[in-house]
Amino acid sequence: MKDNQIITAKASFVHTSPRKLRLVAKAVSALTPEKAVWYLKMINKRAARPLLLVMQQAIANAKNNFAANPGLLMIESLQVMEGPRGAKRTDKSHGARFDRGVKRRRMAHILVKLSVREK
């Protein structure tokens, strides 16, 4: 494995609010990927599921594509970015205030970057 090799995994158009995902992502960003997977399985948040899947994908990419030892991995960055917003409309009138009664369906993009630390 080359020095400073970055392993990435991403999920696009996740149907969860980016704010809720960031709350969980901030809690696991300082952990090792193996501890983060354990934590994401135990935490009682709906936003933990998409983060868990992306973290497992990143660990699998490191093992299969780069022959890296999962015990030596560390989280380089964990980003939750805004995705598109869809409109969720109702058939009743809401007036001119509060965005005319349109609820926003927020989506997010998740990007995980892992690196291999020295022994």
Look up the pTM and report it: 0.87
Give per-residue burial for 41-61: e unless 16+ CB within 10 Å, then b. eebeeebbebbbebbbbbbeb
Q: Where are the domains of the chain?
A: 6-88+101-116
- Structure token pair of residue 10: 């991403």
CA-to-CA distance for 117 and 7, rounded, in angstroms?
Answer: 12
For the chain, give the percent of residues with pLDDT over 70: 88
- Cβ-based neighbour number of residue 90 at 10 Å: 9
pLDDT tens-place string over residues 65-107? 999 999 999 999 999 999 999 877 767 667 666 666 777 899 9
What is the CATH T-level fold of the domain 6-88+101-116, as seen in this structure? Ribosomal Protein L22; Chain A (3.90.470)
